[in-house]
Each structure stands twice: as C-alpha cells, then as structure tokens.
Structure 1
Amino acid sequence: MTTFNDTLLRAARGEKVGHTPVWFMRQAGRSQPEYRKIKEKYSLEEITHQPELCAYVTKLPVDQYNVDAAILYKDIVTPLPGIGVDVKIKPNVGPVISNPIRSVQDVRNLGEFSPEEHIPFVLDTIKILTKEQLTVPLIGFAGAPFTLASYMIEGGPSKGYHLTKAFMVSESEAWFALMDKLGETIIASITAQVQAGAKAIQVFDSWVGALNVEDYRMYVKPVMNRIFSEIRKLNIPVITFGVGASHLANEWHDLPVDVVGLDWRLSIKEAGERGLTKTLQGNLDPSLLLADWKAIEEKAKTIIEQGVEHGGHIFNLGHGVFPDVQPATLKKLTEFVHEYSAQLRK
C-alpha cells in the first residue's frame, strides 16, 4: 500500500516537515514530449473536456519528477463561458474574448455560475485523480477577479491593462458589480473543486501587479478578502500568487490565506524582513532553468536555505514552466530540493 505524501499540506500549515516540498507552476504539459504529442491532436480546451486524458496530463509530472503535489490541468478562464463570456484560447495568444465588458449593463447581463452544469468535466477529472491515482495532494485553482476582469475588459491579453485600469476608476459601479460577480463564480468553482477532492487551492492573480498598493486596497482587496474568507471554511490550505507584485506581498499576507507565493523579484529573506511570517512559496526564476546545472543548483541552494530559515516554505518557480525547459532538469531539481532541504532540516 503506497502512503499518501502530505508534506505540502503540512508545510502550507506551517507544520514541521522532513524536507521542503516542491511543485512547479505549469508543470503539467508545456515541455513534456508526451504532452506535446497529445497537443498535436487536441487543444487545451479539448483536453480539459476529456477527464481521463486530462487526469493523465495532470498526473504525468508527478510520475516523472516526483513532485510533492499535482496541479490540475486547466485554464483560469475555464469558468467564464458558464456566465456568458464568449472566450476562446488561441495558440500563442491566450484567452480572446469577443464580447468584452464595457458597461454596468454588460455586467448585469452575465449569468449565474453552476459548477455541476458548467464545468462537470473539471470535477470528473478531480474525482478520477483523487479517488484512483494520486498519492500526493491535488491543487485546484482559480483565476482572481482582477486578472479575469482584465481579460474580460481588454478582450484578451494586455501589456499595460490600460482599459482595465481606466474602467476600474471611471466606472466604479460596474467594476464593483463585476468583482462581486467574479467573486461568487470563483467561490463556487473552488468549493466544487474541493468537494470533488482537491486538497489545496491556489488563486492566481497573475496580472494584479499592474496596480499600485492604494488602488489594490480600494478596488481589489475587499473581494479577495471575501473569497479567501469563504474558502477558509473548507479547511484546506490556500495559496495566493501573482507576478510582478512584490509591492503587494504585505497586502496578501493580511488576507486569510495560508501561503503567500512570491515571484523571483522578492527573496524569501527579504519577505521575512518585511514582516511576512506565513509559509512562503517560490521562487526560482524560471528563465534560470535554461542555465547550466551548477548555476541552477547555486540559486536553488540559496532559496532552500532561506526557506528553511524562514520556517514554512514550499519550493516553486517565480512563474510557470515554459516550453523550452527540459523535463530532466525539473526532475533533477526536485531531487536536489528534497535531498538538500532534508540535510538542512535534520
């Protein structure tokens, strides 16, 4: 009988662990040859709509790299069609929306989200993984309201989020109505994922770093507090993460979350010096995965050492795995994190 590896769950709660747990954002897919073969035949949306296939893609990095958690293979925009958003994920572009939000009436026209009706394939994938296959926790996830709203207002990916920020400050009634709608959708999606078997949740606020602290507090933090307060009732570890948002790390730490995810711009040590006492996740720059092994090892050592010194730490990248990364590198890095952190934690 294979035992369940709950190292990540214990680390997330700040409990003592024998080694630093590790997983990688976007570990499912991207650089794996088996995944690329599947992608020759199926799109992301087609994979996620086939639970057996999606479960295989989700579990593949656990088998190959020996990471301490699986992250569900899906996209953050997966719930949006359920509320009436016409979104397509275009290769090499990302989510593209043909009916962008322009007014409060557009927000009012959005429908109610029902996980069982709108994302049954996601829930079936989770059930397959957690009831039959995984011996590590499955991390479910959702996109945060600002990040989802940026796609819905811009109509797709953006570099400056100009339309989003202008809409936020000039159409405040519509903005807060949209935050409420997305907050309800996210809570429903996450609750259903946990009920289906997810053992932890990460909320990706990928693009919220575009805001300053004052605007974050005014326009985003209230809905985040509501979302995390509701998720806390599910009694599972909750992780928050964004890119280019080091200036918001203390704001995240104030929220009812268990783990604050950091990108590579803020070190574990600096975060601790700024008063972050919760478990931290991160934060190797994913670009460094293309460097030679000696350089990767030295950077990883520093992160591991700072994490052990901090207390609660989950090793991850500062953003996701990208297609050029060699699977063998991720396997070797996982092994190194396990072995080196175990030595330090003795």
Structure 2
Amino acid sequence: MKNDLFIRAAFSQPTERPPVWMMRQAGRFMKEYWDIKNRYSFLEMCKTPEIAADVTMLPVDLLGVDAAILFSDILVTAEAMGGQLSFEQGVGPRFANPVRNRADAEALQVDVVDKLQYVAGAIQVIQQRLQGRIPLIGFAGAPFTVLSYLVEGGSSKDFKRTKLLLHNEPELAHMILQKIADVTVDYLNMQIAAGVNALQLFDSWALALAWDDYKRFAHHYNAYIFSKLAREGVPVISFCKGSSVFAPIMAEAGPDVVSVDWNADLRMVKDSLPQGMAVQGNLDPFVLYADKRVIKERILHLFDGMRGQNGFIFNLGHGIMPDIPFDNVKYAIEVVKEFSY
C-alpha cells in the first residue's frame, strides 16, 4: 500500500505524523455529494456498487485523506434481517415494522449475508479505484445501536422503548442482540473477504446506557463480534458516543483502536488503555465551524498532548455536520498533513 500510515497507527507502530480521516467524510457537507444524492435515494446509493464507490472516493480525491471509508449505513443489517427501512428527508431512518414483541423478534432473520452482497460489490469496485493508494475501512452498526433503531422504529431522544425492553424483558433483548451480533459477524467477515483493510464498529447510541447496562447489553456483544472476526492484518476500531466514559471496558472487548469522543482528554484515555492499544479522535466537530486559526490551534494542541505516542489516528469525536464549510474541513486535513513528530 502506497500510504499505510493509518494501518501502522492502528497497530500502534511508529508513524511520521498522525494519519487523518473523518467520520462522515463522504457526506452532506460536500456539493459533489449532493450532485449524486439529488439523483438517487439514499438506499439506492448504498445498494448500487458504482454509486457507493463514487461517494466513497469523494474525500479521497477532494480532501486527500489517509483512509477511505465505505459509503453505506449501519442499518443495512437490520433491513436484511427483515426491517422495512426507509429514509425521510429531515427525519432520518424509519422502520415501518418496529420490533415490539417476541413474535417480531422471532421473525428477524439471521441467514442474510446473501442479501448484503451489494456491499461486497461496492468494496471490490472501490478497491479497483483506489489501486492500493490508501486503506479502505469497512464498518457495521453495533448490536445495541441497531436494536435501538429496530425497537424505537427510528431515531430517539430518550430511548424509552429500548430501555423498557432491557429492564422489563431482558431475555427478549438478549435474544434480539444475539441475532444482530451473529448477522454482524457474518457481515464483517464478508467485508474482509471482499477486501477491506480495516473495520469500525459503530455503537452510536451507547451513551444512553448506564454502566452496568452497557456491560450487559453492549460490551458483551461487541466483544463477541471482535472474537469471531477473521481479522489478521485487519485492524478493528471500536467507536461509541460515550467512549470518554466507557473506554476502559471498550478496551476489554479487544479492539485494536478505541475511538474517543471529544469529552475526554485523549492522552489520559491513551494512558489508561492497555499497552499497544491505539486511540482515534478526538477533535470536537464544532471546531470546524470556527476560524482557521482556531482550527489550527486546536489540532496542534491535540497533537502536543499526543507527542511521543505511537498508536494515534486523528479524527473527530463524532461525524462532520452537514453545514460545516468544505474549505474548513480541507484546511484541517492540510494542518494534519503538514505536521511531523
């Protein structure tokens, strides 16, 4: 690989500078994304390998990032399991048939990897276009986060239905979570076989959970997934909102990298993790709205704190917001690429 900075950092090997990529880097803050999005539905974009590859390549060609991430969605596994998924403008994902009882849960299918072959097709097209320039990151939604969408029927502010399920019917919750975990193992191993160079597990809504509930209903299944992956040579990143709280137990699940939100001091998190475990993060995405001098100051301050550390991937604490100026994102990446240890 011509640029293996990201892979080396993920395996805590020495690098000349921190590698940079950004969550949601192929997205709504780019005019070129909208040029494509205005012609197709979101699910059409995900399910058409050539279009998914077009979107994946946008930040590679326009921003010069050190890693590409597959254009897809964390909920494609839930759709394959039987969820009737749609995306509404300004609302987000919706499931027309939310999981509300045991019969709904029993109806969820687990032998579904054939339904997700369009993702393997996209990976193959992307790798043909990358031609070994930089690594390609594949991903999936973590079981708790996928469960929350299936149970709530979409996004939620309070996760009331999800928490009632965990508290009142824990056995049913575990049955659903195990099904999602088994599908996720098959799905991520399919991505490895198709040619991804790294993986990230997104537990986007883990912050909704109390510590003990996180251990029972999130950590247990994430650890199960990591243990079942054919991951030799393929680094695995664990991400959740709440990683500033859950980082110690996230590390116990056995990822190669813990992706840290912006609420924590990154060096303190790094020092608390097992030797040889990398960190990713953790600039507050809202900094990218600020003046360029502020963007530079904040990035360099973060780098000062990580000086002398192997195993550091620069990223945001979460994804880029859709109205962040493209020029600010490009400038931030330039600042990272000009830095050297």
Q: TM-score, normalised by structure 2?
A: 0.95
- How far residue 96 of structure 1 moved from its aligned partner, in angstroms, is 0.7
Per the alignment, residue 310 of structure 2 pairs with 311
Aligned equivalents of 1:314 and 1:68: distance in 2?
10
Does residue 1:121 correspond to 2:118, yes or no? yes
2:98 aligned residue (100, 104, 111): 100
| Aligned-residue offset at 1:235 | 3.7
Structure 1 residue aligned with 2:295: 296
* Aligned twin of 1:335: 334
In the TM superposition, what whole-angstrom CA distance separates every residue of 1:91-148 from its partner, at most 9, and x where no partner exists?
A: 2222111111122232111112332x21222111100111343411110000001100
Question: Match for residue 211 of structure 1?
Answer: 209
Deviations 1:5-40 (A, max 9, x none): 111011000001111100000000211111111111
Mark the CA change 1:214 to 1:16 in structure 2 (over 3 Å): closer, same or farther: same
SS of the residue corresponding to residue 42 of structure 1 reads: coil
Letter in 2 for 1:280: V
Matches within 5 A, 1:160-239: 160-231=158-229, 233-239=231-237
Q: What's the CA shift for 1:240?
A: 0.7
- Look up the equivalent residue of 2:116 and give its one-letter code: I
Counterparts of 1:212 and 1:28, CA distance in 2: 32
Helix, strand or coil: the match of 2:43?
A: helix
Partner of 1:285: 284
Query: Which whole-Å CA distance do the structure 1 matches of 2:230 and 2:18 have between them?
Result: 24
1:298-327 Cα shifts (integer Å, max 9, x gaps):
111111222334331000011111111222
Task: Give how far 1:276 is off.
Answer: 5.5
Contact 2:243–2:259, Cα closer than 8 Å, also in 1 = no
On the 8 A contact 1:14/1:311 being kept in 2, the answer is yes
Distance 1:133 1:288 in 2: 30
Which residue number in structure 1 is paired with residue 261 of structure 2? Answer: 263
In the alignment, the residues of structure 1 paired with residue 139 and residue 110 of structure 2 have an alpha-carbon distance, to the nearest angstrom, of: 19
Question: How far apart are the structure 1 equivalents of 2:150 and 2:324?
Answer: 31
**Structure-2 residue corresponding to 1:86:** 84
Which deviates more from structure 2 when the two are superposed, residues 61-70 or residues 84-93? 84-93
**1:268-312 CA distance string (max 9 Å, x none):** 122134445421000111111010011111111111222334331
Q: Which runs of 5+ in 1 are unaligned?
A: none
Q: Is the 8 A contact 2:15 2:310 kept in 1?
A: no
C-alpha separation between the residues in 1 aligned to 2:213 and 2:9?
A: 32
Matched position secondary structure for 2:263: coil
Q: Is the 8 A contact 1:191 1:234 kept in 2?
A: no
The CA RMSD measured in Å over matched residues stands at 1.5
The residue identity in structure 1 corresponding to 2:257 is V
Partner Cα separation in structure 2 for residue 232 and residue 125 of structure 1: 20
What amino acid does structure 2 have at the position aligned with 1:41? Answer: R
1:234 Cα deviation after fit? 4.5
Asked if the contact 1:68/1:137 (under 8 Å) is kept, the reply is yes
CA distance in 2, matches of 1:311, 1:136: 19
Q: Letter of the aligned partner of 1:7 in structure 2?
A: L
Between stretches 231-240 and 46-55, larger displacement belongs to 231-240
Amino acid at match of 1:178: I
Q: Tell me: CA distance 1:109–1:287, structure 2 relative to 1, closer, same or farther (3 Å).
A: same
The total of aligned residue pairs comes to 339
Q: Which runs of structure 2 are paired with 1:137-148 in the superposition (5 Å)?
A: 137-148=135-146
Paired position in structure 2 for 1:246:
244
Counterpart Cα distance in 1 of 2:209 and 2:33: 35
Identity %: 37
In 2, the alpha carbon distance for the partners of 1:60 and 1:66 equals 9
Once the two structures are superposed, what CA deviation does each residue of 1:173-214 show, in whole Å capped at 9, x if it has no partner?
111101110001111111111111110000000000111211
Give the 3-state SS of the residue equivalent to 1:141 in structure 2.
strand
